[in-house]
Structure 1
Amino acid sequence: MTASPKSLAPRPLSLAAVLEHAWGADDFTASAVMGATGLTRSTTIEAMDTLAGLGLLRELPNARVTSSYRKGRPARRFEVREDAAVLVGVDAGHARVTVVVADLRSRTLATHRLALDVERDDATTRRRLIVAAVSDALRAAGRTRHDVLAVCVGVPAPVDAEGRSPRHRTGFWDLMNPGLVDAFAWAPLVRIDNDASLAAVAEGAVGAAVGCPDYVSLLAGTRLGAGVVVDGRVLRGAHGGVGEMIAFDHVDGVGSAEGLGTRAAQWARAEIAGARLAPESALGAMPPERIDGRSVLELAAAGDADAGRVAARVAAVLARIVSVLGSMFDPRLVVVSGAISAGIDEVIAAARLALPTDLDLPAPELVGSRLGADVVVVGAVAAASATARERVLDVWRQPAT
């Protein structure tokens, strides 16, 4: 996306209305836009021509050219130029970075993954590696920074409306969000957000919460984190702290913000160390250093009795977490998201049965995500797309020809 700005002055509201319709349609005619927006024909055609001149729309061959024309004047057809720019979604997690470059239809062009050395981590190095990972992903997609319209990065820290994280007593939040809003200032549109909030965006866009205005996406693998959606809006708070789970340090039956995966692995290792396993136990045959939460829950789902005892403890904690979230935010739905969602169906079923029955509010429905470990980067692309749709006409620069 290069070259000089071109005026959007004639009818910016009509441009926005036409472009919003275009973004959600495969291809369209002026009549379709008029029916959807209420604009007059002359205003609609002028807006379509302006957007085509800006490089945001492309005019398609008419029906006469494609041999489908029967009689009368063929209608002009347009579509969004999905290749006019790219969107970049980033999951900048504690131990790994995932970058997806997508076109304006959110179709993936390239994916790049990078493992981080958490033992040699510092803010400067982390920032450099995240930016480099984006450059590598753009290169793999055959694009450059000049093609980028919007970047969205998810981090395991609260993030305020300006893309910055508050100070943390251990420095963890500063490390996880090392000035990323400044590092990506070269992009026209930049959004830095909490990873659980972006998981919620993903679930609402293409996941288990499509069409649901009130839900919580619970990232529960290593640490607990919640993306909270109320009345169709992701809640943020003054410092981006809505959904921070440190309060569970003070909740009986939960006791900390450690994730379900962390607990499952710890409890499984304790079972092995205590020699409390059956001789035929698949859990007992697994080397302790290879045990993680997902593997334990998958063994439980496969019928291993010893792993099943661990899963039952996990289910009891999950039920308590869901009951607290239900009392705090009154969601219709809680979605267990992230890598831990694989193999967790039986845990969720047990947690449903363990939900307290004496709460004043109805208990939320509890389901597992089907978006897997990439839920945050899926949400980052969806958020980049939403930001682009909302603000593209404020920042657009006509592509060079």
Structure 2
Amino acid sequence: MKDTIVLYPSPGRSHLVSIVELAKLILTHHPSFSVTIIITDAPFETGSTASYIASVSAETPSFTFHHLPTIPIPNTSSSILDIKTLSFEFHTLINHHFHDALLSISQSSNLKALIMDFFCNYSFEVSTSLGIPTYYFITGGLTGLAAFLYLPTLHNNFTKSFKELDEILYIPGIPPIPAKNMPVPMLDRSLKIYKYFLETAIQMTKSTGIIVNAIETLEQKALKAIQNGECTPDHPAPPIYCVGPLVPTDVSESGGANISKHECLTWLDSQPSRSVVFLTFGSIGRFSAKQLKEIAIGLENSGVRFLWVVRAPPTDESEKTTAAAAVEPSLDLLLPDGFMERTKERGFVVKGWAPQVEVLNHDSVGGFVTTCGWNSMFESLRAGVPIGRMGR
């Protein structure tokens, strides 16, 4: 039987792209292996991945995409915290299908290891119960990983939530940080997302290893602190493997030769070199309706050329957004009256999603406004495009 590595990304395009690039890296070192990537339907709207998967399948025949059955998902709002919470809970709901998939794969191949996304934490017990060596894959950097692994220690050292503390936190390997500046999911210990982060931090120390999309030479202090066990004083530190930067080397994201070129790329072809500012805010990033109007006013008043990816605003419990509405927001309702007409000579607005790597590598793009997600940072650095940050 053929040696096989199974990779399990959390739902959504950005984490899937990183997992695929990791799989490609594995095959460069172990070309005799086969790779199976387990795919789940996202429990929230992140844009379709079908064309991307089709393109990867055609390009790399040694990849197999194993789709788990669709399951009913409880209603939730589209706030970032609720989406992150659901990302964890989703895997407990689909674990029985995940268990069946691992059994099926192991019967037809020699399953050497499972590499799973951070958000798949509650599938760890499934894979280890089957005796499969299990690695965590971190799509971010070592500095964030150091803080995350140190969370159980901080939790035991304080009784209040970080958002209530006027304290400076001293975390091994990283500069001191005000408690209130910790990542949002860690700020309030009464929330479920905090509990999920805490449990994941504890469980990761039991894994076979942690694979990080990071560059070792850029974060040496954080790496040394983790490896020396300073971030996990109550448990031995698992082996850390730095494999970054994982950035698509083929900039074509449109889905292969049979898929037409994205319309925004055609528009960019007609713009002067380095003249366009590209604005996009991640696969789940959303601004309120009021904020979208303010961004539009700023773009119009700036006089710059722009390519802007607009997603529907987040909802609250009283107003659910369908997947279709999230991908195809009504620009006439969201943007100021007449904005599209007044800026049509120098601006282009895309609903939902644009091929980011292709856009960043286009000669017409001279700047990138983003929330500075880890993938976006690497992609922009490789393309040589200056970055400006906008928070949500």
TM-score normalized by the length of structure 2: 0.31
TM-score normalised by length of structure 1: 0.30
